[in-house]
Structure 1
Amino acid sequence: MTDVESRRRIGAEIWIVLGLSLGKAAVYAVVNIAARLTAGTPLAQQTATLNASRTERPWLDLTYQLLGIGFALVPVALALYLLSSHGRDALARIGLDRARPARDLAWGFGLAAVIGIPGLAFYALGRALGITVEVRASALDDHWWTVPVLLLAALQNGVLEEVIAVAYLAERGCRDLGWSRVRFIVTSSLLRGSYHLYQGPGPFLGNVVMGVVFSWFYTSRRGRSRVVPLVVAHTLLDVVAFVGYALVPAEWRAALGIV
């Protein structure tokens, strides 16, 4: 296979992986925000619901939730399989292993702290400017499995987004296609922002900033091409958002102006 054929094959592979995962979500997000902007109702008066209940029957709802989480991770398995070609260990290649657990956890908590406060500020600013919808982080009914499912959903988001949008894209883009670090950071960050666009321009910009920080860290000497700190940070942020929302009493949320 010639170099040109190899590059074309890798390019097609990237589009396929994204088309099955975050790229598909980005396209739907663009259509969704177009629908919101032409709905005749201001964005500030609209709501985006995450982790919604699928049915009123608890055990069936639990089944749907677990199936959704499991199938959402299939593109991650595909990406790891593709990166494992020619006998290479994909987990070690992108740092999705237990080689440096203490260091990875420390960086994960640090990144979560760095991103968490600015993220809330972007959301609050977007709400104040009327360019961000009201985000309902959890609409699951109160069951014994609600918190465990929300924890799994947070982990699923962390693994899916960081492995695909950062690690996989860095491996295929930078190492195999010769992208510059700047091109990778811009591409990864815009991709991250695009699939959050359904929440409005505010979350789009906030997630682009998060993407810049995460993709820069991954390619830095501190990050050492290890994705575990990013997964830890992303999971922590979603745990706070999902579980915190579910546990805060409805009257408290109303008093704070949260749906």
Structure 2
Amino acid sequence: MIRASAFYEPGIEQDTFRRRRLPWEIALVLLVSVGQSAIYSVVSFIRAATRAPISQQQTQLNPSRSAEPLWDAIYQFLDIFFSLALVALVVYLLWEPGLSALRRIGLDFRRFGGDAARGLLLVAVIGAPGIGVYAAGRALGQSIAVIPAPLDSSWWVIGLLILAALRAGLTEEVIFLGYLFDRLRRLGWSWTWVIVSTALLRGSYHLYQGWPSALGNVVMGLVFGWCYRRWGRAMPLVIAHTVIDIVAFVGYPLAAAWWPGIFTPTPSPTPTPSGTP
């Protein structure tokens, strides 16, 4: 017969163990997800800044994985799938007995109408100024030219780009907001430091596009962080981010054709950091 005392009883010791474990968990999650991409992004920017003027360089959105369209689609789909597996891992880490992690971070469909309305409002507040920041950065020679994936290479390209936008929205908002907000608050961080630190990490994650885009994403992180604290729901932020990226991924090639002086560069590309949208 097993005595009840043989089981680990929750209490002060368990709370202490969890607090000591959390920094390691956070570090490991970041090193295999957005933190890894942020490091690649910073290194990519430093490399670009030391090679030639920023205005003469370019990077690619959703670069091709193969010269053969079918295999390129397969590799793109697998890349999206494994990125979403990391999102699922983070949700799993947030799960607690008797409490759904998706409901706790507000990534469910209980209030989808209101979430969609708030998300579309954020698209108007963040999306248009974001395009302006990039255009201004290009005009000032401080932003690396971003080359979009062509829309006419295969019939399935637009579908893959929409999935890539959903991947970016889920990855950033679930990890930056749902996961890091929960974990940093458990470590005793104030709301101000949580919002600012995650916004700065979000900015470094996009530094490969140049410092104006990174600064724009810091502002986006501050706004999204404030909204998440106020609303307690990640769904409107995922919707906003996904829609913004769909416009960028699908609408950007059209803008490049209409406004080549701002959106189309000339020289050789700077490689896009691994895992960066």
Whether the TM-score (by the shorter chain) exceeds 0.5 is yes
Shorter-chain-normalised TM-score: which range? over 0.9
Note the residue ranges of structure 1 that are not aligned, 5 or more in a row: none
Matching residue within 199, 205, 208 for 2:209: 199
What residue number does 1:258 align with? 264
Correspondences of 1:176-255 after superposition (within 5 Å): 176-220=186-230, 223=231, 225-246=232-253, 248=254, 251-254=257-260
The whole-number CA distance in structure 1 between the counterparts of 2:17 and 2:201 is 25
For residues 257 and 151 of structure 1, what CA distance do their matches in structure 2 show? 21
Q: Is 1:131 aligned to 2:131, yes or no? A: no
Q: Which runs of 4+ in 1 moved over 4 A?
A: none
Could you tell me whether the CA contact under 8 Å between 1:49 and 1:139 is conserved in 2? no
Aligned 8 A contact 1:50 1:139 in 2: no
1:228–1:250 Cα change, 3 Å: closer
Correspondent of 2:127 among 97, 106, 116: 116
Change (3 A) 1:129 1:254: closer
Shift of 1:251: 4.5
Query: In the alignment, what sits opposite 1:21?
Result: 33
The one of 59, 71, 79 aligned to 1:48: 59
Shift of 1:254: 3.0
Point out the structure with max Rg over C-alpha: 2
List per-residue Cα deviations over 1:178-199 (Å, max 9, x = no partner): 2211011111100100110111
Encode CA deviations 1:51-81: one digit per residue, 9 max, x unaligned.
1111121111110010010111122111111
2:240 partner amino acid: A
Supply the AA of the counterpart residue of 2:247.
Answer: V
State whether residues 51 and 139 of structure 1, in contact with CA within 8 Å, keep that contact through their aligned partners in structure 2. no
Q: Give SS of 2:172's match.
A: helix
Contact 1:95–1:227 (CA under 8 A) maintained in structure 2: yes
Higher relative contact order (CA 8 A, sep 6+): 2
Structure 1 residues 208-237: Cα deviation after superposition (integer angstroms, max 9, x where no partner)? 0000000000001xx1x1000000000010
For 2:250, what is the secondary structure of its paired residue? Answer: helix
d(CA) in 1 for partners of 2:198, 2:255? 37
Which of 20, 39, 64 is equivalent to 1:8?
A: 20
TM-score computed with the length of structure 1 as normaliser: 0.93
Q: What's the CA shift string for 1:64-120, capped at 9, x where partnerless?
A: 010010111122111111111333210000001011010000000000110012111
Paired residues, what number? 253
C-alpha distance in structure 2 between counterparts of 1:70 and 1:124, whole Å: 32
Matched letter for residue 244 of structure 1? G
Q: Secondary structure at the match of 1:52?
A: coil
Select 1:65's aligned residue among 76, 81, 95: 76
On the 8 A contact 2:64/2:72 being kept in 1, the answer is yes
The aligned residue for residue 5 of structure 2 is none
Match of 2:273 in 1: none
Q: Letter of the aligned partner of 2:86 in structure 1?
A: P
The 1:249–1:144 alpha-carbon spacing in structure 2 relative to 1, beyond 3 Å, is farther
Compute the displacement of 1:177 (Å).
1.7
Deviations 1:1-44 (A, max 9, x none): 354432120111111111110000011111111111111x1001
Q: Which amino acid aligns with 1:27?
A: I
Q: How large is the RMSD of aligned CA atoms in angstroms?
A: 1.6
- Measured in 1, the distance between the counterparts of 2:256 and 2:222 equals 35
2:79 maps to a residue whose letter is G
Letter of the structure 2 residue corresponding to residue 132 of structure 1: S
Judged with a 3 Å threshold, the aligned counterparts in structure 2 of structure 1 residues 20 and 251 are, in CA distance, closer, same or farther, namely closer
